[in-house]
Chain A
Amino acid sequence: MGAMQIREKADVCVIGAGHAGCEAALACARMGLETVIFTVSVDSIALMPCNPNVGGSSKGHLVREVDALGGEMGKNIDKTFIQSKMLNISKGPAVHSLRAQADKAEYSRSMRKVLENQNHLTIKQTEVCELLAEDMEIKRDNENKTAKKRITGIKTFTGAVYECKAVILCTGTYLKARCLCGEAITHTGPNGLQAANYLTDSLKELGIEMRRFKTGTPARMDKRSLDFSKMEEQFGDEKVIPFSFSTNPEDVQIDQVSCWLTYTNEKTHEIIRGNLDRSPIYAGVIEGTGPRYCPSIEDKVVKFADKERHQVFIEPEGMHTNEMYVGGMSSSLPEDVQLAMYRTVPGLENCKIVRNAYAIEYDCINPRQLFPTLEFKEIKGLFSAGQFNGSSGYEEAAAQGLIAGMNAALSILGKEQITIDRSEAYIGVLIDDLVTKDNFEPYRMMTSRAEYRLLLRQDNADLRLREKGYMAGLVSEETYQATLKKKAMIDAEIKRLKNLSVGASKNVQDFLISNGSSTLKTGTNMAELMCRPELSYDILAELDVDRKPLPDDVIEQVEIEIKYEGYIVRQLHQVRQFKKMEKKRIPEELDYHDIKSLRLEARQKLISYKPVSVGQASRISGVSPADISVLLVYLEQYNNKK
């Protein structure tokens, strides 16, 4: 008698339970679809295999945006952080960014609990080896799109088949993973976990183009072996601001732990330079492309040879462990060199390494194979998110996971999928960059990548995105109404302040003098006064006697909108121009060979990227403004012929 093959049915299969997979699976289940999340190890759900923090410049924005859309990351870090800081607080509101140190184990456990208790969601520990798909040549939706294949299910290592309507690939760094620590090479995923060695071949068979990236992580040390008296203590903020818009600020005022700062020195650099030939990267053993933004200490020493020292941040990995993360010194040098170089750093002279630093190589895709919805252009029902798409970072992964999950669900529900554009969120910038630009290294979010960043602040993510989350069914009616109410209060207060005249009376002049501001020559209004750098909403309370009490978050928005109005209006104007081109859709079946006047380079790029809008086309390198003009005219004719 032959073995019985298990055949299950689900709506969505999510492959991988890292930060992308968790958001994707939760979104699908919360939108009412039967969802199975596969992981090689249930114990590694929402694992943080690298730095022990969430957020940071521009990444904090992503977490806020995920939260506004109805994602989980913000809520989970609010429950499990051990230190929190608002970065760039002395700079403009657009670049303020939250970063919290996480208790890694707690973060993972807490997320697992959320997954375990989510209706419609099943967790399954097994390796997925194959994607099942069928050929199709159907018209899709009302937009006349056609796809070559359609996903029908997955097959596991043990032979079980799960039939489903959509698959979301969130394989992180696990595909054909290889870890390198000097000459020692293991074929494992992060933290020695089992790699996934079969799926790549199945993806290739489906026509998906694969590539190989690398990244790395520094050593973890035993806290008891470190001398903190030689380091500078780094505290958290006195008043902690939560990530999630739904977290009660009082709940996050906890006792925080400290991080520590120390520096490398010439001796450290000497050891590194003397052993470069033993680094797999410099010796050419590593073939993957590494990220420039978190360079290994070897890279820093080679590329910035004139720098006398580099910062090293010692960060706790959690409350119930002695392990400390050595931020700034990731490396793939052999164990003996690592130990020698770490021990030259003040405070680390007697350090004991718990886990060695290592570099990791893995398979991922060139994300230009995806629509901005994160669905594969050539395979209906197949979505992907996170490091598999060539990004890096927990936050980037979560953001994509959420969008991929929402769109997989929306597509199964027969609703229009969502696309977030560059003017709406950092998430939009992230995805557009991934699917439109040539990326040669793991992509990290950076504030300089967002051209409309004055509008995309972390403080207004709810005002920007709640509605989208609500429309998709991830944000509750109550929460959405609260956001609408907040918006109305902000608008009313700004209007009131603009209409509130202030005369040049003695009372007013005295007030201005006492606050170090110049006196009035003619009458003005309260909003104009607030634009002066030395005057704030708070300070003006003295003049503004009829003011009614408002929530802090409303006042914050009122103040930003008024103080930076000139700049904000300029960006809004740019956004209007931008939107015009985004709205001009390019039909999927359009044949660029028919457009004779396109330059050859432009035509090839357009064929390979298949942009969904003229706006996206204009951002592809090698497509000139003249090509865009030609395309516009052609499209006009094309659309009218139909």
Chain B
Amino acid sequence: MKNTIAAAATAMSEAGIGIVRVSGDDAIEIVNKIFRTKSGKKKLVDFNSHTIHYGFIVDGKNNGTDEDEVIDEVMVSLMKAPRSYTAEDTVEINCHGGVLVVNRVLEAIIKNGARLAEPGEFTKRAFLNGRIDLSKAEAVIDIIHSKNQFALKSSVKQLRGSVSVLVKKLREELIYEIAFIESALDDPEHISLDGYSEKLMEKTEKVISELKKLLDVSDSGKMLKEGINTVIVGKPNTGKSSLLNLLAGEERAIVTDVAGTTRDVLEENIKLHGISLNVIDTAGIRSTEDVVEKIGVEKAKKYASDADLIIYVVDSSIPLDESDYEIIEMIEDKKTIILLNKTDLDAVVTEDILKKECRKRYGDKKDIVIIKTSTKENTGIDLFENEIRDMFFKGEISFNDEVVITNMRHKEAIQNAYESMLQVKKSLENNMPEDFYSIDLMSAYASLGTIIGEEVGEDLVNEIFSKFCMGK
């Protein structure tokens, strides 16, 4: 396992600035490979500790030559051990914010020898290296614990069904080949490897091309159900579904969810001015005695509590009631856009009435954004879209951080598996003995396992015994 770690130190958002932190023995060496000063003469490794430098991060695809593509204009600060947060050599790269840029910088660092930090790992290192007061141990433990719990929960859940099926299939194929080789090594008089290399070469090339495809998928961010978690709430028949249909109209790209996920609520992925929204339409909220409907309402409340953005649709033609008040209370801590819908009908609820009800509950602590729309006549929808865009670029709403990080983590795993398979191919081409193949096949198998949250454990021994008849 690589010892130098990297991660975004700021939230993955469209904020104006993003900081990528690299820590560990090779931190300076790694960033040095992809950092170019303006003159191009001085190298990062030549600078003193606690200095800051202007320059560019390049993609490093052409080994630091001028052919390299510039990713971003940056300021790089250098902190040598032990005078840094983690007490290790640390480099912080201040780049222009934005998920894309931060992502690309991080990727370039990982390609050059760092690995993505585990949740809470910087803090853990800081602690283990004596930088954090011992009395804070409990707090450090809690950070690691909670971050891991969350990461664990989200990473597998966010994976697209089709991706996880493919990863599982590739792993099954790999472990079969490893088990075959190992059975033959263990019991050479029962199982022969004659002529096996050709067969393995064929399989290796196939796996390599599958992994290449997966890498492309992860590049386009399609591995995960990514986007701003947007939940539409409101009483029944206020126009929520019409809104979703409008947003998901023909002129916009629609990415429907993969088959196999439960569809108790309607979920659509919508790109709006390049911003990805994961829109969930929920059952209308009202007090009800109907058991089935009650379940739907409970679900709606749960989705709302996990949302990054709430769209609260109000029917302006009927008076506010208890259900509305309940919703208003429920969304108190959430970024919200309220749509005063059905402006084509006579208004009973006005902007002022609605505002008054909100203020009564929130006071001044929350901005109240109200937009008048008619989903029937398609009016006001453009205003609504602009509002979302503004919020996003002002950084008021953002991607779920974890999704971006998870995607990066998966990509790193696939990249590692891919490189291991290239090594298998190289060993095959060099006519290395068979036992060398299984070393890298096993690395590929383990890397892919991290994507679907599976450890290696006794897999190999079990596969050997279940698939191959051993002697004696």
Q: Which of A156-164, A339-347, A394-402, A628-636 contacts B (4 or more CB under 8 A)?
A: A628-636
In the bound complex, do residue B470 and residue A57 qualify as a contact, i.e. CB atoms below 8 Å apart?
A: no
A contact residues around B439 at 8 Å (CB): 454, 567
Quick one: which of B128, B178, B182, B457 contacts A636, CB cutoff 8 A? B128
Q: How far is the CB of A384 from chain B (nearest CB, A)?
A: 23
In the bound complex, do residue B185 and residue A95 qualify as a contact, i.e. CB atoms below 8 Å apart?
A: yes
Residue B208, interface by CB 8 Å: no
Q: Which of A102-110, A241-249, A289-297, A423-431 contacts B (4 or more CB under 8 A)?
A: A289-297
Q: How far is the CB of B439 from chain A (nearest CB, A)?
A: 7
Q: Which of B135-143, B212-220, B275-283 contacts A (4 or more CB under 8 A)?
A: B135-143
B contact residues around A330 at 8 Å (CB): 472
B contact residues around A634 at 8 Å (CB): 137, 141
In the bound complex, do residue B186 and residue A629 qualify as a contact, i.e. CB atoms below 8 Å apart?
A: no
In the bound complex, do residue B188 and residue A57 qualify as a contact, i.e. CB atoms below 8 Å apart?
A: yes
Give bound CA distance, A624 to B134, whole Å: 24
In the bound complex, do residue B142 and residue A57 qualify as a contact, i.e. CB atoms below 8 Å apart?
A: no
Closest to A454 in B: B439
Residue A235, interface by CB 8 Å: no
Closest to B468 in A: A304
Residue A58, interface by CB 8 Å: yes
- CB neighbors of A among B109-144 (8 A): 118-121, 124, 127-128, 134, 137-138, 140-142, 144
Closest to A216 in B: B472
Provide the B94-120 mask, 1 if CB < 8 A to any CB of A, else 0. Answer: 000000000000000000000000111
In the bound complex, do residue B431 and residue A57 qualify as a contact, i.e. CB atoms below 8 Å apart?
A: no
Q: A328-B472, A567-B439 are in contact. Are A630 and B141 (CB under 8 A)?
A: yes
Residue B245, interface by CB 8 Å: no
In the bound complex, do residue B470 and residue A294 qualify as a contact, i.e. CB atoms below 8 Å apart?
A: yes
Quick one: which of A294, A574, A629 contacts B144, CB cutoff 8 A? A629
Q: A300-B469, A327-B471, A447-B182 are in contact. Are A87 and B145 (CB under 8 A)?
A: no
Residue B266, interface by CB 8 Å: no
A contact residues around B121 at 8 Å (CB): 629
Q: How far is the CB of B122 from chain A (nearest CB, A)?
A: 12
In the bound complex, do residue A293 and residue B152 qualify as a contact, i.e. CB atoms below 8 Å apart?
A: no
In the bound complex, do residue A293 and residue B465 qualify as a contact, i.e. CB atoms below 8 Å apart?
A: yes
- CB neighbors of A among B127-180 (8 A): 127-128, 134, 137-138, 140-142, 144-145, 148-149, 152, 178
Residue A313, interface by CB 8 Å: yes
In the bound complex, do residue B118 and residue A448 qualify as a contact, i.e. CB atoms below 8 Å apart?
A: no
Residue B70, interface by CB 8 Å: no
Q: A90-B433, A630-B144 are in contact. Are A292 and B465 (CB under 8 A)?
A: yes
Residue among A294, A454, A633 with max Cβ neighbours from chain B (10 Å)? A633
Give bound CA distance, A577 to B182, whole Å: 25
Quick one: which of B134, B152, B182 contacts A448, CB cutoff 8 A? B182
Give bound CA distance, A381 to B200, whole Å: 51
B contact residues around A603 at 8 Å (CB): none
In the bound complex, do residue A448 and residue B124 qualify as a contact, i.e. CB atoms below 8 Å apart?
A: no
In the bound complex, do residue B134 and residue A637 qualify as a contact, i.e. CB atoms below 8 Å apart?
A: yes
B contact residues around A595 at 8 Å (CB): 141
Q: How far is the CB of B428 from chain A (nearest CB, A)?
A: 13
A contact residues around B127 at 8 Å (CB): 633, 636
In the bound complex, do residue A58 and residue B470 qualify as a contact, i.e. CB atoms below 8 Å apart?
A: no
A contact residues around B142 at 8 Å (CB): 597
Quick one: which of A437, A447, A624, A626 contacts B458, CB cutoff 8 A? A437
Residue B396, interface by CB 8 Å: no
Residue B460, interface by CB 8 Å: yes
B contact residues around A621 at 8 Å (CB): 455, 457
Give bound CA distance, A637 to B1, whole Å: 25
In the bound complex, do residue A632 and residue B128 qualify as a contact, i.e. CB atoms below 8 Å apart?
A: yes
In the bound complex, do residue B430 and residue A533 qualify as a contact, i.e. CB atoms below 8 Å apart?
A: yes
Residue A547, interface by CB 8 Å: no
Residue A449, interface by CB 8 Å: yes
Provide the A245-282 mask, 1 if CB < 8 A to any CB of B, else 0. Answer: 00000000000000000000000000000000000000
- CB neighbors of B among A514-550 (8 A): 533
B contact residues around A293 at 8 Å (CB): 465, 470, 472
Residue B461, interface by CB 8 Å: yes
In the bound complex, do residue A91 and residue B435 qualify as a contact, i.e. CB atoms below 8 Å apart?
A: yes
Quick one: which of A92, A303, A626, A637 contacts B152, CB cutoff 8 A? A626
Closest to A641 in B: B134
A contact residues around B145 at 8 Å (CB): 597, 626, 630
In the bound complex, do residue A446 and residue B182 qualify as a contact, i.e. CB atoms below 8 Å apart?
A: yes
Residue B394, interface by CB 8 Å: no
Residue B256, interface by CB 8 Å: no
Residue A229, interface by CB 8 Å: no
Give bound CA distance, A632 to B121, whole Å: 12
Residue B3, interface by CB 8 Å: yes
A contact residues around B189 at 8 Å (CB): 87, 311, 313
In the bound complex, do residue A311 and residue B436 qualify as a contact, i.e. CB atoms below 8 Å apart?
A: no
A contact residues around B460 at 8 Å (CB): 448
Q: How far is the CB of A536 from chain B (nearest CB, A)?
A: 14
Q: A567-B436, A629-B148 are in contact. Are A636 and B469 (CB under 8 A)?
A: no
In the bound complex, do residue A294 and residue B434 qualify as a contact, i.e. CB atoms below 8 Å apart?
A: no
Residue B187, interface by CB 8 Å: yes
B contact residues around A311 at 8 Å (CB): 189-190, 471
- CB neighbors of B among A315-360 (8 A): 327-328, 330
Q: How far is the CB of A9 from chain B (nearest CB, A)?
A: 43
Q: How far is the CB of A216 from chain B (nearest CB, A)?
A: 10
Closest to B431 in A: A533
In the bound complex, do residue A304 and residue B469 qualify as a contact, i.e. CB atoms below 8 Å apart?
A: yes
Give bound CA distance, A279 to B134, whole Å: 63
Q: How far is the CB of B192 from chain A (nearest CB, A)?
A: 10
Residue among A293, A295, A437, A625 with max Cβ neighbours from chain B (10 Å)? A293
In the bound complex, do residue A57 and residue B187 qualify as a contact, i.e. CB atoms below 8 Å apart?
A: yes
A contact residues around B178 at 8 Å (CB): 448
B contact residues around A310 at 8 Å (CB): 469
Residue B464, interface by CB 8 Å: yes
Residue among A51, A330, A448 with max Cβ neighbours from chain B (10 Å)? A448
Q: A92-B435, A293-B470, A637-B137 are in contact. Are A58 and B148 (CB under 8 A)?
A: no
Closest to B472 in A: A294
Residue A507, interface by CB 8 Å: no
Give bound CA distance, A292 to B470, whole Å: 8
Give bound CA distance, A632 to B193, whole Å: 44
A contact residues around B186 at 8 Å (CB): 57-58, 446-448
Give bound CA distance, A90 to B435, whole Å: 11
A contact residues around B469 at 8 Å (CB): 295, 300, 303-304, 307, 310
Residue A118, interface by CB 8 Å: no
Provide the A603-639 mask, 1 if CB < 8 A to any CB of B, else 0. Answer: 0000000000000000001001110011011101100
B contact residues around A111 at 8 Å (CB): none
Closest to B148 in A: A626
Residue A5, interface by CB 8 Å: no
Q: A51-B472, A294-B471, A447-B186 are in contact. Are A629 and B461 (CB under 8 A)?
A: no
Quick one: which of B144, B185, B190, B472 contacts A597, CB cutoff 8 A? B144
Residue B432, interface by CB 8 Å: yes
B contact residues around A626 at 8 Å (CB): 118-119, 144-145, 148-149, 152
10 A-B pairs with least C-beta separation: A92-B433, A626-B148, A294-B472, A637-B137, A597-B145, A448-B182, A292-B465, A92-B435, A91-B433, A304-B469
What are 10 A-B residue pairs whose CB atoms fall within 8 Å in the complex?
A57-B185, A58-B186, A95-B185, A95-B435, A310-B469, A567-B436, A626-B145, A629-B118, A629-B120, A630-B141
Q: CB within 8 Å of B: which residues of A?
A: 51, 57-58, 87-88, 90-92, 94-95, 292-295, 300, 303-304, 307, 310-311, 313, 327-328, 330, 437, 446-449, 453-454, 533, 567, 574, 577, 595-597, 621, 624-626, 629-630, 632-634, 636-637, 640-641
Q: CB within 8 Å of A: which residues of B?
A: 1, 3, 118-121, 124, 127-128, 134, 137-138, 140-142, 144-145, 148-149, 152, 178, 182, 185-190, 193, 430-436, 438-439, 455, 457-458, 460-461, 464-465, 469-472
Told that A58-B186, A88-B188, A91-B188 touch, could you supply 6 new A-B pairs with CB distance under 8 A?
A: A310-B469, A446-B186, A447-B185, A448-B178, A448-B438, A621-B457
